[in-house]
Structure 1
Amino acid sequence: MRTGIILAGGDSKRIGTDKGLLDLNGRPLISYVIESLRPVVDEIIVVVGSEERISNYRNAVEEDVRIFPDMYEDGSPLIGLITGLTHAKGTYAVVAACDMPFINSDLLDLLFLLSFDLNGTLLIKSNGWVEPLPAVYKVDIGRERADQMRMHGDLRLRKVLETLPDVARIQVERLKVIDPKLRSFFDLDTKDRYNEALRIIKD
Structure 2
Amino acid sequence: MIDIPSPAVAIVGRHNSGKTTLIERLIAELVGRGIDVGSIKHHSHRGFDIDYPGKDSYRHRAAGASETVIAAPGQVARIKTIEGEEECADLVRSMPGHDIVVVEGYRKSGLPTVEIMRAANEADAHTAEVFLRGAREGLPLGADFTQLGRADGAAAGCSGVRDADAAAAAEAVGAAADVVGPAADVREKMPAASTVAVVTDIPAAREAAALYGIPAFHLDDVAALADFLGERYVRPRVTVVIQAGGESRRMGQSKATVPFAGRPLICRLVERLQPVADELIITTNEAERLDFLHEMYPDAGIRLVADIHNERGALPGLYTALQAATNPYVAVVACDMVFASARLVVAEALAMHESGADVVTPVNKHGFEPLHALYRKDGCLTAVRERVRQGEKRMQSFFGDDDVTVLPFTQDRVLQVEPRGGCFVNANTPEDLARIEDMYLGE
**Aligned with residue 261 of structure 2, among 25, 29, 34:** 25
- Correspondence 1:1-203 to 2 at 5 A: 1-49=237-285, 53-61=286-294, 62-63=297-298, 64-116=301-353, 117-127=356-366, 129-163=367-401, 165-203=404-442
- Using CA pairs below 8 Å that are at least 6 residues apart, which structure has the higher relative contact order? 1
Amino acid at match of 1:191: P
TM-score (norm 1): 0.91
Deviation at 1:141, TM superposition (A): 2.1
Q: 1: distance between equivalents of 2:241 and 2:399?
A: 16
Number of residues of Structure 1 aligned to a counterpart in Structure 2: 199
User: 1:192: how far off?
Assistant: 2.1
Superposed displacement of residue 60, structure 1: 3.5
SS in 1 for 2:409: strand
Give the distance between the partners of 2:307 and 2:433, measured in 1 at CA: 26
Displacement after TM superposition at 1:162 (Å): 4.5
* CA gap 1:162/1:106 in 2 versus in 1, 3 angstroms: farther
Unaligned runs of 5+ in 1: none
CA distance in 2, matches of 1:46, 1:160: 23
Greater C-alpha radius of gyration: 2
Q: Which amino acid aligns with 2:362?
A: L
Aligned equivalents of 1:94, 1:171: Cα separation in 2: 17
Contact 1:28 1:60 in 2 (8 A): no
Deviation at 1:173, TM superposition (A): 4.2
Question: For residues 79 and 27 of structure 1, what CA distance do their matches in structure 2 show?
Answer: 28
Deviation at 1:18, TM superposition (A): 0.3
* Amino acid in the other structure paired with 2:308: M
Amino acid paired to 1:183: G
Q: TM-score, normalised by structure 2?
A: 0.43
Conserved? CA contact 1:3–1:44, under 8 Å: yes
* Identity among equivalent pairs (%): 26
Instruction: Give distance in 1, aligned partners of 2:400 and 2:334.
Output: 19
- Compare 129-138 and 178-187 and name the one that shifted more: 178-187
C-alpha distance in structure 1 between counterparts of 2:267 and 2:352, whole Å:
26
CA distance in structure 1 between the aligned counterparts of 2:340 and 2:439, rounded to whole angstroms:
13
AA paired with 1:114? Answer: A
Structure 2 gaps, min length 5: 1-236
> 1:8 touches 1:98 (CA, 8 Å); kept in 2?
yes
- Mapped to 1, the partners of 2:331 and 2:437 lie a distance apart of 25
Which of structure 1's runs of 4+ aligned residues deviate more than 6 A?
A: none
* 3-state secondary structure, aligned to 2:280: strand
Separation of aligned partners in 2, 1:200 and 1:35: 19
Is the CA contact (8 Å cut-off) linking 1:131 and 1:158 kept in structure 2?
Answer: no
Provide Cα deviations, 1:113-155, integer angstroms capped at 9, x if missing partner.
111122120222214x221210100012222111110111111
